[in-house]
Chains A and B, each alone.
Chain A
C-alpha cells in the first residue's frame, strides 16, 4: 500500500524541484511508473478478504479496481493538460500539477481507507483541489457558478453524513470496515433511524449523482479544464458509488423499503438525462449528462444490493470511468482547435481528422455499451438483477439503453459524419500526445474484455 502512496506523495516535491524544461516529461514518467506499480494491487489471492493490509489502509476486491483506475488517471491527466498549460508561467504549471497529485493522494487514501471517518475526511478533501482546478483554470465566466454548485451540493449532503458517522462512532466505539459488518443494528426510534439512514446515504447519492440532485454535474464537468473533467468523470463520481457500497452494509433492515424511491428516481434519471442528451448543443454537456445517465444505472444497481447488481455496478463504474474520460479528452481536442464546445461548429471531422475519428468511433461504441466491452457487461448485469428484483424496471432500463444508443450515435454522427462546415479551413492534425492519451484510455478498456474478473468485485 505504501509502495504506491509514498511515491505519489513524493511526486509533489519532484514537481517543484524539477527544472522547467523537464517538468512535464518527469511528471509523466514518474506517474506512469506509479501507475504500472499500482497493478500489483490486482494480485488479490482471495476473493472476499482484505489484502495489502496495515492498520489504516487495506484493499479489497471492490476498492482495488478503483485504486488502479485512480493511479492510472494521473498520467492521463498530465498528458491531457500539457498543451493548454504551455503558455502559463512555470509556477502556475507546477501548482496545477501539484493539485492533480494531491487529488491522487487523497483518492488513494479514500479508496484504501479502513475506517469510515478516514474515508469521510478524504471524500471531503478531494473537493478542495477539484474546486481550485475548476474555478481557477476553467475557461468561461460560468466556472464560478459551477464551483459554487459543486462545492455546496456535495457539502449539503456530506455534513449530515458526518453527524451520522459520529453518532455511529459514539454508540459502537468503532467505524472500522473490518468490524462494522458484525455490528448490531442501531435501532432507536423509527423516525430517527430513517433520518440516520438518509443522512448516511445522501452524500453519496448527491455525488453519484442521483437524478434529482444532479445539477452540479453538468456545470462542473463543462466548466472544468480537461484534467478536472477527467478526474471528475472517471473517479470522483465513483467515490459516491464506492461509499454507498461500503455504507449499505450497516444500514441493513431499513434499506428494504427506504431505498425504493431512490431506485425509481435513479432509473427515471437514466431516461430523463438520456433524453436531455439528445437535445444538447454543447458537446461537453452531452458527455456530462451521459455520465449522469450511466451513474443512475449504477446507483440503482447498488441500492438493490444483490451480488450481481454490485458486480455490475463495479464493472460499469470502471468501464464508464475510462470511456467518459476518453470522451472528454476527445471533446478537448475539438475545443483546443476551435475554441468552442458547440457541436454544430465542429461537424464532419472525419474528413479532416480521420485518425481522431477512429478514437471517436471506439469511444462512442464503448459509450453505447457495445458487446463485448465491459460497459455492456456491467449494464447487462445491473439490468438483469433489476429485472429479478422487479420486472417493471425492465421498461425503464430497456428504454434507457435505447436512448443511450441514440444519443451516443447522435454525438458521433454530429461530430464526425456529414459535411465539413465552411468555416473550418485549417485545423491542426492530431498530436502524438493526443493519440497516446486516447490509446491509454481505450486499450485498458479493450484489455479488460480478456480478464473481466479483475473488476468483478466480490462475485464468483
Chain B
C-alpha cells in the first residue's frame, strides 16, 4: 500500500516515502575495511538491582525451590527422593507385583481349564441359556 503512495514520491521528501525501511549499520564506523563482526545492537542495561535479578546471581546452585540455599537443597533432596525413589520406583514396583489385576489371568486359566474339561466330557462348551430355564417364573398371559 505504501508503494502506491510512491506515485507522490518525488514530491515528498525521501525520508517519508521510504517509511518501512531502517538502515542499521553494523560495522565499526571508523574501520576502513568492513569487518564481519557485529557490534552490540542493544547496550546492556545497568538497572542497579532494580530490574529482575536472576536468582542464579546470588546462588549459583539455585535449584528453583527457595532463595535460602540450605532450604533450597533440602527441598530439592526431599522432592527428588520422595517423588522419584519413593513414588515412582517403590510405587512402580508395588504396582508391578500386584497379583493378577482384575483377575484377568485367572479368567484365562479358568476358561482354558473348563474348555478342556468340557471337550473331554463331550459337553457343549457353553449353555445356550444364561439362566436356568426352570427357575424363570413367567406371569400367565390372562393377567393384565
Contact = CB atoms under 8 A, between A and B. Distances in A.
Interface of A: 21-22, 24-25, 28-29, 32-33, 35-36, 39-40, 42-47, 61, 72, 75, 79, 82-83, 86, 422, 425-426, 428-429, 431-434, 436, 439-440, 443-444, 447, 450-451, 453-454, 456, 460
Given A36-B82, A47-B103, A433 B95 contact: no
Contact of B107 (A82, A422, A456, A460): A460
A433 B87 contact: no
B27 interface: no
Contacts of B91: 36, 39
- Place the interface of chain B in its size category: 35 or more
B9 interface: no
A439 B41 CA distance: 38
A439 B64 contact: no
Most buried by A among B87, B90, B94: B87
A42 B65 CA distance: 31
Contacts of B74: 25
B36 to A, nearest CB: 18
**Chain B residues touching A, majority SS:** helix
Given A36-B91, A451-B96, A21 B68 contact: yes
**Chain A residues touching B, majority SS:** helix
A92 to B, nearest CB: 17
A60 to B, nearest CB: 12
Contacts of A86: 66-67
A443 B75 CA distance: 20
Given A29-B82, A79-B79, A24 B66 contact: yes
Given A28-B79, A431-B64, A460-B107, A36 B86 contact: yes
A21 B62 contact: no
Given A25-B78, A42-B95, A428 B90 contact: no
A459 B94 CA distance: 22
A433 B42 contact: no
Given A432-B64, A453-B102, A32 B96 contact: no
Which 7 A/B pairs are nearest by Cβ-Cβ distance? A431-B64, A433-B64, A47-B102, A32-B82, A432-B63, A25-B75, A36-B87
A296 to B, nearest CB: 29
A427 B56 CA distance: 11
13 contacts: A25-B74, A28-B79, A32-B82, A32-B83, A39-B94, A44-B102, A45-B103, A425-B42, A431-B63, A433-B65, A439-B84, A440-B87, A451-B95
Most buried by A among B67, B76, B84, B95: B95
Given A24-B65, A422-B41, A429-B56, A33 B86 contact: yes
Interface in B46-78: 54-56, 62-68, 71, 74-76, 78
Contacts of B55: 428
Nearest to B68: A21
Nearest to A435: B64
A24 B75 contact: yes
B71 A25 contact: yes
B65 A447 contact: no
Given A44-B102, A440-B88, A453-B104, A83 B64 contact: yes
Contacts of A444: 88
A453 B82 contact: no
Contacts of A432: 63-65, 76, 80
Contacts of B92: 447
B101 interface: yes
B138 interface: no
Most buried by B among A25, A86, A443: A25
Interface in B16-34: none
Contacts of A443: 84, 88
A3 to B, nearest CB: 14
Contacts of A28: 75, 78-79, 82
Nearest to B90: A36
Interface string B93-121: 01110100111100100000000000000
Contacts of B62: 431
B103 A42 contact: no
Contact of B79 (A42, A436, A450): A436
Contacts of A440: 83-84, 87-88
Contacts of B65: 24-25, 82, 431-433
A24 B79 CA distance: 10
Most buried by A among B62, B64, B84: B64
Given A433-B63, A440-B87, 19 more contacts: A24-B75, A25-B65, A25-B75, A28-B78, A29-B82, A33-B86, A36-B82, A39-B94, A43-B98, A75-B83, A422-B41, A425-B42, A429-B56, A431-B62, A431-B64, A432-B63, A432-B65, A439-B83, A460-B102
A29 B83 CA distance: 8
A61 B95 contact: no
Contacts of A429: 56
Nearest to A21: B71
B75 A47 contact: no
Most buried by A among B80, B90, B101: B101
B63 to A, nearest CB: 4
B62 to A, nearest CB: 7
B68 A436 contact: no
Contact of B104 (A32, A47, A434, A439): A47
